[in-house]
Structure 1
Amino acid sequence: MTKTLITAAVAALLAGCSLAPVYERPQAPVTPAWPQGEAYKPAAQTGDERQAGDIAWREFIADDKLRQLVELALNNNRDLRVSILNIERARAQYGVTRAAQLPAVNASVGQTANRVADNQSPDGEGYINRQYSAGLGITSFELDFFGRVKNLSEAGLQQYLGTQEARRAQQIALVAEVANAWLTLAADQERLRLAQDTLKSQQISFELSKRRFQAGATSGLDMYEAQQSVETARSDMAIYTAQVAADQNALTLLAGAPVGPELLPQGSLTQVTQLTELPAGVPSSVLQRRPDVLSAERSLQAANANIGVARAAFFPSISLTASAGSASGDLSGLFKAGSGVWSFVPQLTLPIFNGGANRANLDIAKADRDIAVAQYEKAIQSAFREVADALAQRGTLDERVASQAALAEASARSYRIYEARYQKGADTYQTSLTAQRNLYTAQQGLISARLAKASNQVTLYKVLGGGWQ
Structure 2
Amino acid sequence: MWRRVAIGCLILVLVGCAAKPPASQMLKVEEMAPDSWTASKEGKAGVDRQWVQSFGDESLNKLVAEAVSRNPDMRAAAERVVQAKKAAYLAGASARPTLAAEVKADRSKRQFIGLPFGGSSVENGSFADLTVNWEIDLWGRIRMGQVAAISDAQAAELDAKAAEAALAAEVCKAWFALGEANEQLRLSKEVTEIRASSVESIRERFEQNLGGDGGSASQLRLAQTDLANSEATVSQRESEVRLAQRRLELLCGRYPAAKLKGAGNLTRMPKRPPGGVPSSLLQRRPDVIAAERRYAASVARVEEAKRALFPIISLTGSAGTASDALEQIVNNNFSTWSLGTTITQNILTGGRVKGEKASRESKEREEMANLEGVVLGAFGEVENALMLEGWLKKRVAGVKKASDLASDAAVAANNDYLEGNGDILTLLSAQSRAVELSSQLLTLRRIQLDNRVDLHLALGGEFRLKK
| TM-score of the pair, normalised by structure 1 | 0.88
Query: Residues 15 and 146 of structure 1 are in contact (CA less than 8 Å); yes or no, is this contact kept in structure 2?
Result: no
Shift of 1:288: 3.1
Alignment of 1:153 with 2:135, yes or no, is no
> In 1, distance between residues paired with 2:115 and 2:415?
129
Shift of 1:142: 1.7
Give 1:331's aligned amino acid: L
CA gap of 1:456–1:262, structure 2 versus 1, over 3 A, is same
The residue number in structure 1 matching 2:235 is 238
Percent sequence identity is 27
> In 1, distance between residues paired with 2:293 and 2:115?
69
> In 2, distance between residues paired with 1:358 and 1:23?
27
Q: Bigger shift: 307-316 or 365-374?
A: 307-316
> In 2, distance between residues paired with 1:307 and 1:41?
42
Give 1:150's aligned amino acid: R
The residue number in structure 1 matching 2:245 is 248
CA gap of 1:178–1:419, structure 2 versus 1, over 3 A, is same
Alpha-carbon displacement from aligned partner over 1:98-155 (angstroms, at most 9, x marks no partner): 222201111222213223447699998755322222231124x321112121111111
Shift of 1:280: 4.1
> In 2, distance between residues paired with 1:321 and 1:246?
67
Alignment of 1:113 with 2:107, yes or no, is yes
> In 2, distance between residues paired with 1:85 and 1:35?
37
Query: Residues 80 and 171 of structure 1 are in contact (CA less than 8 Å); yes or no, is this contact kept in structure 2?
Result: yes
Query: Residues 41 and 395 of structure 1 are in contact (CA less than 8 Å); yes or no, is this contact kept in structure 2?
Result: no
Alpha-carbon displacement from aligned partner over 1:163-205 (angstroms, at most 9, x marks no partner): 1111111101100001001101111111111111111111111
Alpha-carbon displacement from aligned partner over 1:340-373 (angstroms, at most 9, x marks no partner): 2112342222122223222221111111001101
**Equivalent residue of 2:408, what SS?**
helix
> In 2, distance between residues paired with 1:93 and 1:132?
39
Query: Residues 42 and 274 of structure 2 are in contact (CA less than 8 Å); yes or no, is this contact kept in structure 1?
Result: no
> In 1, distance between residues paired with 2:248 and 2:447?
19
> In 1, distance between residues paired with 2:225 and 2:276?
51
The residue number in structure 2 matching 1:328 is 323
Query: Residues 22 and 297 of structure 2 are in contact (CA less than 8 Å); yes or no, is this contact kept in structure 1?
Result: no
Query: Residues 316 and 351 of structure 1 are in contact (CA less than 8 Å); yes or no, is this contact kept in structure 2?
Result: yes
> In 2, distance between residues paired with 1:369 and 1:120?
72
> In 2, distance between residues paired with 1:338 and 1:201?
108
CA gap of 1:413–1:70, structure 2 versus 1, over 3 A, is same
Within 5 A, what are the aligned runs for 1:269-280? 269=266, 272-273=267-268, 275=270, 277-280=272-275
The residue number in structure 2 matching 1:224 is 221
> In 1, distance between residues paired with 2:416 and 2:115?
131
CA gap of 1:122–1:158, structure 2 versus 1, over 3 A, is farther
Higher relative contact order (CA 8 A, sep 6+): 1
The residue number in structure 1 matching 2:385 is 390
The residue number in structure 1 matching 2:169 is 176
Give 2:242's aligned amino acid: A
Shift of 1:307: 0.5
> In 2, distance between residues paired with 1:359 and 1:437?
74
The residue number in structure 2 matching 1:426 is 421
Query: Residues 155 and 294 of structure 2 are in contact (CA less than 8 Å); yes or no, is this contact kept in structure 1?
Result: yes
Query: Residues 66 and 263 of structure 1 are in contact (CA less than 8 Å); yes or no, is this contact kept in structure 2?
Result: no
Q: Bigger shift: 457-466 or 184-193?
A: 457-466
Q: Bigger shift: 307-316 or 128-137?
A: 128-137
* Structure 2 unmatched runs, 5+: none
> In 1, distance between residues paired with 2:456 and 2:352?
48
Give 1:211's aligned amino acid: E
| TM-score of the pair, normalised by structure 2 | 0.88
Shift of 1:15: 6.6
Shift of 1:29: 5.5
Within 5 A, what are the aligned runs for 1:6-405? 24-25=25-26, 26-28=28-30, 30-36=32-38, 40=40, 42=42, 49-52=45-48, 55-56=49-50, 59-117=53-111, 126-139=120-133, 141-215=134-208, 216=210, 217-218=212-213, 219-258=216-255, 264-269=261-266, 272-273=267-268, 275=270, 277-405=272-400
Query: Residues 175 and 467 of structure 1 are in contact (CA less than 8 Å); yes or no, is this contact kept in structure 2?
Result: no
CA gap of 1:334–1:372, structure 2 versus 1, over 3 A, is same
> In 2, distance between residues paired with 1:341 and 1:401?
88
Give 2:149's aligned amino acid: G
Query: Residues 105 and 326 of structure 2 are in contact (CA less than 8 Å); yes or no, is this contact kept in structure 1?
Result: no
CA gap of 1:239–1:261, structure 2 versus 1, over 3 A, is closer
Shift of 1:440: 0.9
**Equivalent residue of 1:298, what SS?**
helix
CA gap of 1:17–1:308, structure 2 versus 1, over 3 A, is farther
CA gap of 1:50–1:304, structure 2 versus 1, over 3 A, is same
